[in-house]
Chains A and B, each alone.
Chain A
Amino acid sequence: MTTIAVTTKSEPILELEGVGKQFGSVIALRDISLHVRPGTVTCVLGDNGAGKSTLIKTLSGVHQPSGGTYRIEGEEVNLSSPRDALGKGIATVYQDLATVPLMSVWRNFFLGSEPTRGGPLRLIDVRRAKEIARKELLAMGIDIRDVEQPVGTLSGGERQAVAIARAVYFGAKVLILDEPTSALGVKQSGVVLKYVVQAKERGVAVIFITHNPHHAYLVGDHFFLLNRGRMIEDWERDEVSLDALVKAMAGGAELESLAHELKSLGGEVAEAAQEEIAEMRETQL
């Protein structure tokens, strides 16, 4: 029953409806509804503890939802493992767990799906693998000096880029990016965002999970806001400004009360410090 096609836009490739996830008595996700269209970047924003990781793991097949429906291309699915998800075209790039640092760029690119020439040893077609890796990385605008160099010698942004390019090459229809910019500097974040757009332009549905509203606003077409396990906002790009996004992210009213608290705390601290200084002067004299 995918009759929610209210707009003229393309059908969602991935859809959650009323999905929840419970670990014993802890409710990590509650009534999550989300839809993702091909060729768009969908941002899921949330602070620490909002449920982002649980959502990623549910989407990528690590966790099975406790309730609700999960649809891929309109079909209801029950993913049993990350490999199962991968088979259905859902690739996840984890923040730090995407590449093996000591292995070369081309080996990382093909890891787990090496092109072989057959035979009892299943030898890798190294020349072809290197060629494809170089070509595919270049197509994503990633200029690697030497595909033979260890991934560990690349910058954090380039490493993420290799993982993204790999997922796109292996036919990912949905690309889930777990905080791809959180450990990076400003310039490196820009590099990664560029590849996010590249992937989108190649028709991939990108789910960009982040706590940085500035990065999200640069590339996002659709914004979901996650807080305490619930989806509290659902905005199309033209429905929201950066200011509103930042404010919503920072928790608006919460931030104001925090400011008050800090001010009063600062006052007390200053008072205490003054008293201490006065005491010290007295004893010295």
Chain B
Amino acid sequence: MSTTTTPTATSPPARDERVAQTASLARLLRRPELGALIGAVGVFVLFAVVDQTGQFASLHGLARWSDSAATIGIVAVAVALLMIGGEFDLSAGVMVGSSGLVLGLLVTELYVMMWPAILLTLVFAAAIGAMNGWLVVKTRLPSFIVTLATFFSLQGLNLGLTKMITDTVRVSGIDDIPGFDSARAVFATDFWEPYKFRIAVVWWIGLTILATVVLARARFGNWITAVGGDANAARNTGVPVARTKILLFMFTSMSAALVGIMTALRLRSVQAGQGVGEEFTYIIAAVVGGCLLTGGFGSAIGASVGASVIGMAFIGIAFAGWNTDWSFLFLGVILFMAVMVNTIISRRASGGRG
């Protein structure tokens, strides 16, 4: 098409001039993940310098922090899509514990075999996600409130039911179940001796790629951005707003369940309090990665870069020989700085109009 428009249009030379100087730079600055990428390089350099073990900047170090980043990133990618779609899910953290417990109780108390139990756990997570989404769409209450209620309800159920059934706050004995070994090989093994990268990293990268392709190229991705950007405009052009949002909530719950399943298979037992508190880590990763809290803008790669920053910080602080109590302070500072940088960048990129 460019071949036919260039010669026929009368004004392009002048028009090109007024865009040419800034177009490529503005387009780069418009990328949501840019701030996170700069931050990630900064954090990497910082921890490489203060490292006491001499391993942080090696493959050993990479295997360690990528493990930490993967368990955050798998959920953070889904949380990022949900945030781009204009909603929050505060129950994503507790879902990790709930789904682990569901899996554990299914196999140890009801003697379901491992693979069917995994499938049922994912169905359970999808149902909780669908309930979150349906409540948000139907009641029109802020998802912050709806999922906060889900969060506390699940936390109560996790503790109450686990104690009632097992008389303890944990479910153990998962490794005696037929199918455990094959499930562990898929969800919780490691590879590449002697570094021992976790298989979760592969899942994480796969999900990041899938989410990025969907967001940038699929019709559903267009709808996600639209319902978060302006739900009314989206509805007016015929986008199924309710269905899009409900599917996003389901995807978020299911990715939390994936981490729950991975953790249960890896540790061979599940704590009733597992995952609680992580919901904000996911949101921090998504926000550091350039997602706007108001929806309609963000990236899946950004969320994964954000998860990497957090993973590097957790592992880096330990490798530097500092007390790990400091890691939350570090997260807070990172969050604030990233949001500030992202805001400044996006104001610049929108040419002062936004």
Q: Do A and B actually bind?
A: yes
**Chain A residues with a Cβ under 8 A of chain B:** 82-83, 86, 92, 94, 97-103, 107, 110-114, 116, 121-124, 126, 131, 134-135, 138, 143, 145-146, 148, 150, 152-153, 166
Which residue on chain A has the smallest CB distance to residue B27? A148
Most chain B CB within a 10 A radius of its CB, from A97, A110, A112, A145: A112
User: Is B238 among interface residues, defined by CB-CB distance under 8 A?
Assistant: yes
| Contact present for A100 and B226 (CB under 8 Å) | yes
Inter-chain contact total with CB atoms closer than 8 Å? 98
Cα separation A135 to B9 with both chains bound (whole Å): 11
| Contact present for B23 and A146 (CB under 8 Å) | yes
Cα separation A134 to B8 with both chains bound (whole Å): 13
Inter-chain contacts of B222 with A (CB < 8 A)? 103, 107, 110-111, 114, 124
Inter-chain contacts of B237 with A (CB < 8 A)? 111-113, 166
| Contact present for A121 and B218 (CB under 8 Å) | yes
Contact of A143 among B11, B27, B226, B234 (CB under 8 A): B11
**Chain B residues with a Cβ under 8 A of chain A:** 1, 5, 9, 11, 15, 18-19, 23, 27, 30, 213-214, 217-220, 222-223, 225-226, 229-230, 232-239, 296-297, 350-351, 353-354
| Contact present for A152 and B354 (CB under 8 Å) | yes
| Contact present for A152 and B218 (CB under 8 Å) | no
Given contacts A103-B225, A123-B213, A145-B15, could you give 18 more A-B pairs where the C-beta distance is less than 8 Å? A98-B236, A99-B233, A100-B226, A100-B233, A102-B296, A103-B222, A103-B226, A103-B229, A112-B238, A122-B220, A123-B217, A131-B1, A134-B5, A138-B5, A138-B9, A143-B11, A146-B19, A153-B350
Q: A121-B218, A126-B217 are in contact. Are A94 and B236 (CB under 8 A)?
A: yes
Q: A107-B225, A135-B1 are in contact. Are A152 and B353 (CB under 8 A)?
A: yes
Q: List 13 A-B contacts (CB under 8 A).
A: A86-B238, A94-B236, A98-B236, A101-B229, A101-B296, A111-B222, A111-B239, A112-B239, A121-B213, A121-B217, A123-B217, A124-B219, A135-B5
Contact of B229 among A100, A112, A135, A166 (CB under 8 A): A100
Cα separation A148 to B216 with both chains bound (whole Å): 12
Most chain A CB within a 10 A radius of its CB, from B18, B233, B353: B233
User: Interface SS of chain B: helix, strand, loop or mixed?
Assistant: helix
Cα separation A277 to B9 with both chains bound (whole Å): 66
Closest 10 CB pairs of A and B: A112-B238, A100-B229, A112-B237, A131-B1, A114-B219, A100-B230, A97-B232, A102-B296, A111-B237, A122-B219
Inter-chain contacts of B213 with A (CB < 8 A)? 121, 123
| Contact present for B219 and A116 (CB under 8 Å) | yes
Cα separation A134 to B15 with both chains bound (whole Å): 15
Cα separation A31 to B234 with both chains bound (whole Å): 33
| Contact present for A143 and B350 (CB under 8 Å) | no
Contact of B233 among A98, A131, A134, A145 (CB under 8 A): A98
Inter-chain contacts of A148 with B (CB < 8 A)? 27
Cα separation A152 to B351 with both chains bound (whole Å): 10
B87 shortest CB reach to chain A, Å: 16
Inter-chain contacts of B223 with A (CB < 8 A)? 112
A26 shortest CB reach to chain B, Å: 24
Cα separation A122 to B354 with both chains bound (whole Å): 32
Cα separation A148 to B24 with both chains bound (whole Å): 11
Cα separation A101 to B225 with both chains bound (whole Å): 11
| Contact present for A112 and B353 (CB under 8 Å) | no
| Contact present for A143 and B9 (CB under 8 Å) | yes
Inter-chain contacts of B238 with A (CB < 8 A)? 82-83, 86, 112-113
Inter-chain contacts of A134 with B (CB < 8 A)? 1, 5
Which residue on chain B has the smallest CB distance to residue A125? B217
A123 shortest CB reach to chain B, Å: 5
A98 shortest CB reach to chain B, Å: 6
Inter-chain contacts of B232 with A (CB < 8 A)? 94, 97
Cα separation A123 to B1 with both chains bound (whole Å): 21
Contact of B226 among A111, A135, A146, A166 (CB under 8 A): A111
A106 shortest CB reach to chain B, Å: 10
Cα separation A150 to B226 with both chains bound (whole Å): 12
Inter-chain contacts of A122 with B (CB < 8 A)? 218-220
Q: A100-B225, A111-B234 are in contact. Are A150 and B350 (CB under 8 A)?
A: yes
Contact of A102 among B5, B19, B225 (CB under 8 A): B225
| Contact present for A153 and B353 (CB under 8 Å) | yes
Cα separation A86 to B233 with both chains bound (whole Å): 14
B352 shortest CB reach to chain A, Å: 10
Inter-chain contacts of B350 with A (CB < 8 A)? 150, 152-153
Which residue on chain A has the smallest CB distance to residue B221? A124
Cα separation A100 to B226 with both chains bound (whole Å): 6
Cα separation A124 to B226 with both chains bound (whole Å): 15
Inter-chain contacts of B354 with A (CB < 8 A)? 152
Inter-chain contacts of B218 with A (CB < 8 A)? 121-124
Cα separation A131 to B1 with both chains bound (whole Å): 6
B271 shortest CB reach to chain A, Å: 37
Inter-chain contacts of B27 with A (CB < 8 A)? 148
